Amino acid sequence: MADLRDILIIGGGQMGLALGYYLRRAGIDFQILDAEAGPGGAWRHAWDSLHLFSPAGYSSLPGWLMPIPVHKGYPTRDDVLDYLARYESRYSLPIERPLQVEAVERIDGHLEAITDRGRFSGRIVVSATGTWSHPFIPAIAGRDTFRGVELHSAHYVSPDQFAGQTVLIVGGGNSGAQILAEVSQVATTIWVTQNEPLFLPDEVDGRVLFERATARLKAGPGETPVGGIGDIVMVPPVQEARARDVLHAVRPFDRMTQGGVVWPDGSTTAADAIIWCTGFRPALGHLASLGVVEESGRVVLNGQQSIKEPALWLAGYGDWSGAGSATLIGAARTARDLAPQLEARLSSLKRL
């Protein structure tokens, strides 16, 4: 049998690190299992020019504030990667990588993570694999006939490959706006969104999005806080795109063809490429073996604890698993609240 740890954390991104900080401080025996080749989680796959839309101090994990970047602007992808790598080292977090967790099973009264590098056992398993590895593209008639390039924002790197082309950018969130801003500098772009995009005032940054998401979750009957993570922050590249008058969006096309798309009025547009900025779904394939994943693609939770499998906890997948938990600051707050619950659960298990 694999060595039995108190807690296994599946996922070494921001959520796994934040929780690891609190578990280390509490003296709990834990192990983090990570699929990536190095530190950074999903940030390793973000596009080259990505900027956060909150200052460093508001984008930090527990115990150590992200240093203010030397360029004085909001942190870049590279700033975040450097911070997360140094964070791991600073707190000597026990991380095994790279390994792929293929399944989680209940064996002899505990859970085991079956990986491509053997088995790891835990009295409690916290799944924190996030969403990056499970990008979502909506079902569109004729998509299988399209001969152009299709790319999800999860795999977008830079605008260089689209120079001189006609590119449809689908999705009205911050990723869609930021990718539109830079692709429109080298290509003819059409921004396709389900609804008219919502822009925050120039002086407001991403901090308000997290607070709105938190207020929405805490709202009582009859209360309807507005706004959320989808509102677009006017970071400098998006402001520059507005100055070029390219922040105009149209409603979705009806279907795709070999050479482009067909709009609701029957008109057509030829397209060389489509970039899907249409979000993600929870990456929970490793939990299918436990029978806890519902048709919705989620796990039914009481707080962060699985109702069907009490030894399983989830964090970092979005508001349903902790307010703003897919953000840096949300991961920090979720971990702060989750750690004492895990400690209490461990105490009860050890008394049995």
Specify whether 264 is located in the same domain as 182.
yes
pLDDT, average across residues 342-352: 86
- The domain that holds 150 is classified in CATH as 3.50.50.60
Give start and end residues of each alpha helix (H) in the chain. 14-25, 77-90, 174-183, 207-218, 236-243, 328-351
Specify whether 193 is located in the same domain as 297.
no
The span from the CA of 20 to the CA of 14, in Å, is: 10
* Tokens describing residue 222: 């009859």
Specify whether 113 is located in the same domain as 44.
yes
Summarised one tens digit per residue, pLDDT across range 21-80 is 999 999 999 999 999 999 999 999 999 988 887 888 888 999 999 999 988 788 999 999
pLDDT, average across residues 84-98: 97
* Tokens describing residue 44: 């390793």
Specify whether 266 is located in the same domain as 285.
no
Asked if residues 150 and 274 have their Cβ atoms less than 8 Å apart, the reply is yes
Specify whether 245 is located in the same domain as 162.
yes
pLDDT at 216: 56
Q: Is the dihedral of CA 239, 242, 244, 249 positive or negative?
A: positive
Summarised one tens digit per residue, pLDDT across range 260-298 is 999 999 999 999 999 999 999 999 999 999 999 999 999
pLDDT at 325: 86
Residue 64: domain span: 4-133+280-351
Residue 223 covered by a domain: no
Summarised one tens digit per residue, pLDDT across range 130-160 is 999 999 999 999 999 999 999 999 999 999 9
Summarised one tens digit per residue, pLDDT across range 305-338 is 999 999 999 999 988 898 888 889 889 999 999 9
What's the DSSP call for residue 281?
Answer: -
Specify whether 8 is located in the same domain as 108.
yes
Summarised one tens digit per residue, pLDDT across range 93-118 is 999 999 999 999 999 889 999 999 99
Asked if residues 221 and 151 have their Cβ atoms less than 8 Å apart, the reply is no
Residue 17 covered by a domain: yes
Specify whether 315 is located in the same domain as 265.
no
Burial class (CB in 10 A: 0-12, 13-18, 19+), 120: buried
Which residue is associated with the tokens 């080298």? Answer: 186
- Quickly state the pLDDT bin for 1 (edges 50, 70, 90): low
pTM equals: 0.88
Residue 68 covered by a domain: yes
Residue 152 covered by a domain: yes
pLDDT at 108: 87
Give start and end residues of each alpha helix (H) in 156-230. 174-183, 207-218
Summarised one tens digit per residue, pLDDT across range 66-84 is 999 988 788 999 999 999 9
Domain count, the chain: 2
**Domain end (from 249, 276, 303):** 276
Residue 170 covered by a domain: yes
Specify whether 344 is located in the same domain as 267.
no
Residue 16 covered by a domain: yes
Summarised one tens digit per residue, pLDDT across range 190-216 is 999 999 998 988 877 767 666 665 565
The span from the CA of 173 to the CA of 185, in Å, is: 19
Specify whether 311 is located in the same domain as 192.
no
**Domain end (from 220, 247, 276):** 276
Between these two residues, 165 and 56, which has the higher pLDDT value?
165
**Domain end (from 212, 244, 276):** 276
Specify whether 262 is located in the same domain as 323.
no
> Does residue 217 have a pLDDT over 90?
no
Specify whether 271 is located in the same domain as 284.
no
pLDDT at 64: 96
Q: What percent of the chain has pLDDT over 90?
A: 76
Specify whether 270 is located in the same domain as 151.
yes
Residue 215 covered by a domain: no
Residue 337 covered by a domain: yes
pLDDT at 11: 97
Give the residue from 260, 232, 288, 283 showing the smallest Cα distance to 148: 260
Summarised one tens digit per residue, pLDDT across range 118-138 is 999 999 999 999 999 999 999
pLDDT at 53: 79
